A and B are shown apart, each in its own frame.
Chain A
Amino acid sequence: MLNFEEILQTLSMIDNQKLDIRTITMGISLLDCMDSDGEKARQRIYDKIVEKAGHLVKVGEAIEKEFGVPIIHKRISVTPISLIAGASADKDYVKFAETLDKAGKAVGVNFIGGYSALVHKGYTKGDSILIKSIPEALATTDIVCSSVNVGSTKAGINMDAVRQMGEIIKETANKTAENDSIGCAKLVVFSNAVEDNPFMAGAFHGVGEPDCVINVGVSGPGVVKTALESCRGESFDVVASVIKKTAFQITRVGQLVASEAAKRLGVPFGIVDLSLAPTPAVGDSIARILEEIGIEHCGAPGTTAALAMLNDAVKKGGIMASSHVGGLSGAFIPVSEDEGMIEAARLGALSLEKLEAMTCVCSVGLDMIAIPGDTSAETVSGIIADEVAIGMVNSKTTAVRLIPAIGKGVGDEVNFGGLLGSAPVIRVNNYKCDELIKRGGRIPAPLHSLRN
């Protein structure tokens, strides 16, 4: 039987600690939309998305109201478009991006992911055309997100793709320069990309997934922070235990919403992503949790250890609360989307190198980091190569979402508004890696034994 305190605790989590469901993401397979005629394929894509996701927003809003828990985003992920468009004779896929944009807007979602290519071992014709078109596609659409997988633990790293993505990121930044290079906020480069990720910008619907599926990403940094305030000065054993309990409660809400949404939409439930996802709002920050654990600002010595413990405890607590877990599961550290990270970057407490170290022990990677606009494409590629190598060697997903802020330098700020937030431009190591990037080819997959 529920007691009075438990009910008030839940209300306080929602009202004061920003407990929410971050996203309900419907994954839709477009494999049956292929056609040698691009126009026909696009019509099928539009029709299928509108048919499958027509009620997604309405159902999400109804659940939000009935259960009294905010559901921030309703989104769609689709099969990587390089696979679908590759069947057509088209020489440019921007029109496919425009179709996704139109379909997404028609059903009222705020992002649609899957303008993607998986090239960790090499390119198909479709991959080449799609990647070349990314800057134009992101500049001419509003809600389409793009991702490219350039490495994996089993395949190694495609360094040709790494080189090209450095150029693509720069070109995307230039094409959207008048809006603080916002195109780059919709573009992710992955290592070990997952097929069931509900979070943008990296969501796509993998080929091993069913025709249509509901995946849910939970949130709740504020709830964890508040819970930790009650155990100041206690040992890590206590801290880890408190985080686990809190993560369990947060994830149970995610599981409830996921199964309810799947039932009402008549679509199978896929996974709950055991995530701690911040927003730029005060009280919704991962950095503030790390501070609560005992560091002055995010980036100080000890940050990586605290984050490793947090990430692990979130997974341990969440895993029992959900029947199926997946996605990116872990704590996210997107700089511009986390109020405490923004402050740490402004103070100079947080460097690109420290962020790279942090990505070794938590979810995703170098995320939403503004770098000087004059950073060369080769240097961007070098940063990507380092991050992808971390993912490859450690058998984990890592990603890079960098924003070269055109016309801006260290200390200037970029401002994307809304949940994408704002960020100070962070310093990048000035020494060059051009010769390394020029080599191309593939970095062989790592050995899986003799692990040291």
Chain B
Amino acid sequence: MKAVITVLGNDKVGIIYNVTKILAETGVNILDITQTILQGYFSMVMIVDIEKCTVKFEELQNMLKDKGVEMDLQIRVQHKQIFDSMHTL
């Protein structure tokens, strides 16, 4: 099962560190990372494998969301199917 994590917000120190720390602790494997900064606005998209995730999907969503609130970022985790269905035939 694959998921897409998106992180949006103002750039600051430690974004990738804090997000990947949670992923490492919950057994989520990162397959791909794309990241860019446009006029100070940070956006990152990660494709991850949640097959061996040690917590429930909802819990992972909440952990990342809470971290986002703490760092003033918008962090979301969604099943990858929604993006596949819209953009691939």
Chain A positions near chain B (C-beta within 8 angstroms): 2-4, 6-11, 65-69, 249, 252-253, 255-256
Contact = CB atoms under 8 A, between A and B. Distances in A.
Nearest to B87: A6
Contact of B87 (A2, A67, A68, A69): A2
B34 A4 contact: yes
18 contacts: A4-B34, A4-B36, A4-B45, A7-B83, A10-B83, A10-B86, A11-B76, A66-B78, A67-B82, A68-B76, A68-B77, A68-B78, A68-B82, A249-B87, A252-B86, A253-B86, A256-B81, A256-B85
Given A4-B34, A255-B85, A11 B79 contact: no
B26 interface: no
**From A7, A67, A68, residue with most partner B Cβ within 10 Å:** A7
A256 B6 CA distance: 20
- Size range of the chain B interface in the assembly: 20 to 34
A6 B58 contact: no
A70 to B, nearest CB: 12
Contacts of B85: 252-253, 255-256
B34 A10 contact: no
A251 B8 CA distance: 26
Nearest to A256: B85
Given A7-B4, A67-B78, 8 more contacts: A2-B87, A8-B43, A10-B82, A10-B83, A11-B8, A11-B76, A249-B86, A252-B85
Contacts of B82: 10, 67-69, 253, 256
B84 interface: yes
**From A11, A69, A253, residue with most partner B Cβ within 10 Å:** A11
**From B6, B82, B87, residue with most partner A Cβ within 10 Å:** B82
Interface string B63-89: 000000000000011111111111110
Contacts of B36: 4
A8 B78 contact: no
A7 B81 CA distance: 11
**From B47, B76, B87, residue with most partner A Cβ within 10 Å:** B87
Nearest to B5: A7
Given A4-B34, A8-B43, A67 B79 contact: yes
Contacts of B43: 8
Contacts of A69: 82
B61 interface: yes
A176 to B, nearest CB: 40
A83 to B, nearest CB: 37
B86 A65 contact: no
Contacts of B57: 66
Given A67-B78, A68-B78, A256-B81, A6 B86 contact: yes
A420 B29 CA distance: 45
Interface string B24-46: 00000000001010000001010
Contacts of A6: 83, 86-87
Given A8-B43, A66-B78, A2 B84 contact: yes
A65 B61 CA distance: 9
Contacts of A252: 85-86
A67 B58 CA distance: 11
B9 to A, nearest CB: 13
